[in-house]
C-alpha cells in the first residue's frame, strides 16, 4: 500500500489512508513502513476503517484507513510504502 494521506485522530491514534495492493490484510497483522531513505520500522494494525464502517479484513483494491499502533504522526508521510511481514 502506498500512503495517500496521514491523519491523527484524538483517542484513536495515527491513521494512514490508501488503497490495498496486497491480497488481504487483517486487524492485528504486523506491517513494515518503508520511508525510502530512512531505516524501515515495524508496527501493527489496530483497526481497519472503510467509509463509515470498521472492518476485520480488507481485500485488494479496497480504499481504507489503517489505524496504527506505536507510531507518531511525524514519522509517517504521504508516498511512504507499507508492506506486510508475511503473505496471507
For residue 76 the three cell numbers come to 509517517
Domains and CATH numbers, the chain: 5-84 (2.40.30.10)
DSSP E strands in the chain: the ranges are 5-9, 13-19, 24-26, 30-34, 41-50, 53-55, 57-59, 63-69, 81-84
List, for residues 36-87, the tens digit of each pLDDT value: 888 899 999 999 999 889 999 999 999 999 999 999 999 999 999 999 976 5
Average pLDDT of the segment spanning 5-21: 95
pLDDT given at position 38: 87
Residue with the three cell numbers 508516498: 79
CB 44 within 8 A of CB 69: yes
Note the pTM of the prediction, 2 decimals. 0.91
Residue with the three cell numbers 484524538: 10
Amino acid at each position: 500500500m502506498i500512503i495517500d494521506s496521514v491523519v491523527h485522530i484524538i483517542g484513536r491514534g495515527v491513521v494512514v489512508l490508501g488503497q490495498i495492493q496486497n491480497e488481504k490484510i487483517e486487524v492485528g497483522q504486523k506491517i513494515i513502513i518503508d520511508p525510502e531513505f530512512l531505516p524501515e520500522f515495524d508496527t501493527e494494525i489496530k483497526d481497519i476503517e472503510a467509509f463509515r464502517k470498521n472492518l476485520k479484513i480488507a481485500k485488494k483494491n479496497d480504499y481504507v484507513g489503517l489505524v496504527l499502533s506505536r507510531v507518531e504522526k511525524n514519522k509517517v508521510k504521504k508516498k511512504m510504502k507499507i508492506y506486510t511481514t508475511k503473505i496471507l
